[in-house]
Amino acid sequence: MASITMDNLGKVYTGNVRAVSDVNIDIADGEMIVLVGPSGCGKSTLLRMVAGLETITEGTLKIGDRVVNQLEPADRDIAMVFQNYALYPHMTVFNNLAYGLKNRGFKKDEIDRRVREAATMLEIGKFLDRKPRQLSGGQRQRVAMGRALVREPAAFLFDEPLSNLDAKLRVQMRVEIRQLQKRLGTTSLYVTHDQLEALTMADRLVVLNGGRIEQIGTPMEVYLRPATTFVAGFIGSPAMNMLPTAYLRGLVAADALAHMPVAADLVGLRPEDLSLAPAGEGEIALTGQLMLLEPAGAESHLHLTFEGIKDTIVARLPHVPDVQEGSHLTFSIRRDKLHPFDQATGKRVA
């Protein structure tokens, strides 16, 4: 158990390629932090820097009270779960779990006890004598988890551990990992590109883009008040719609947008905040042409074009409406649901 402190962490590869810059995160003991961002945003690099698999070129990293910048991965008291599991193919499940303990000179009966305990916890007890290739993807995933568990480390590091599983298993493992982490209370750093995984699993999530932190916050903070247009577009599915403020001002009475800061020349609208109900008090009405109706069972996505707006606007309704593609529809949205941004800086205004 330990906290992890990243102080101005940065990574510059030889040839002056910058992967990560100015990362400051304080991870409390027992907290689950999810690093999320698109491919190439530096999230995996950052995780590997914490693990000790990449050198740290700037800043300091502390696990507990120790500065670990120069320590080998094995000496940092962390355990890592890899994307492709990285199980040792020639060893049985038991030996896969035991390998790290053996290398650390644990006694035989202690190793045995810990491995069986972890195996019971992960329900892989009956596979202990098998080789990894005799296991299904989900079972391998559990073994990889087990290898981290037996070590009882100060922190778990997860590098997109669920991305090789099918959708159903992914949801199941997501729940299990989160429950396990909560029960053990082990500090965890979890990397994913899946915003849903990020929202559901994190105590706090860190949105990264281009090697920089865009926003740190609880999932709901990030969802309800995205700090930048990037976060607004990345968190939430379908992505947030962006409209120029000028377009809205043209639609409504002058005082209707009085609460919007002057600097806000871009307005974000969550697809789920748009409704087909007639605009009432404190609401704005928007009319667009329906280009495509995507029914998705419990909900539906409506792709609309607004006159004079290049981008398609998406509305998400909690039902499938009986409307024709090509028809004009009027939506309403509450004024306080508008997200004001400054287009030039990409930052949220107020």
Non-local (6+) Cβ contacts of 246 within 8 A are 265
Residue-wise DSSP of 19-72 = EEEEEEEEEPTT-EEEEE-STTSSHHHHHHHHHTSS---EEEEEETTEE-TTS-
| Distance from C-alpha of 225 to C-alpha of 100, rounded to nearest angstrom | 43
Total residues interacting with other proteins, rule: CB under 8 A: 25
Site string for other proteins, 52-91 (x = CB under 8 A): xx------------------xxx---xxx-xxx-xxxxx-
- Indicate the residue among 79 and 304 with the shorter CB distance to other proteins: 79
- Indicate the residue among 89 and 318 with the shorter CB distance to other proteins: 89
How far apart are CB 51 and other proteins at their closest, in Å? 7
- Which of 7, 30, 69, 99 forms a contact with other proteins (CB under 8 A)? 99
Per CB under 8 A, does 308 bind other proteins?
A: no
Site string for other proteins, 133-172 (x = CB under 8 A): x-------------x-------------------------
Q: Tokens in use for 229?
A: 């247009």
Sole window of 32-40, 45-53, 178-186, 294-302 interacting with other proteins (rule: CB under 8 A) = 45-53
List binders of other proteins among 253-282 (CB under 8 A). none
Task: Output b/e per residue, 117-154; b: 16+ Cβ within 10 A.
Answer: ebbebbebeebbeebbeebeebbbbbbbbbbbbbbebb
**Nearest Cα to Cα of residue 110 among 154, 143, 150:** 150
How far apart are CB 173 and other proteins at their closest, in Å? 18
| Distance from C-alpha of 217 to C-alpha of 202, rounded to nearest angstrom | 9
How far apart are CB 95 and other proteins at their closest, in Å? 10
**Nearest Cα to Cα of residue 170 among 196, 133, 202:** 196
How far apart are CB 103 and other proteins at their closest, in Å? 4
- Which of 16, 103, 324, 327 forms a contact with other proteins (CB under 8 A)? 103
∠ Cα 225 285 242 (to 5°) = 40
Q: Tokens in use for 93?
A: 């499940």
Per CB under 8 A, does 307 bind other proteins?
A: no
Q: Is the peptide bond before 244 cis (omega within 30 degrees of 0)?
A: no
CB 54 within 8 A of CB 46: no
- Which of 9, 51, 149, 274 forms a contact with other proteins (CB under 8 A)? 51
Per CB under 8 A, does 104 bind other proteins?
A: yes
Sole window of 120-128, 131-139, 173-181, 269-277 interacting with other proteins (rule: CB under 8 A) = 131-139
CB 79 within 8 A of CB 101: no
- Strands 32-36 and 17-27, by their bridges, are unpaired
How far apart are CB 11 and other proteins at their closest, in Å? 16
Residues lying near other proteins in the complex (CB under 8 A): 51-53, 72-74, 78-80, 82-84, 86-90, 99-100, 103-104, 131-133, 147
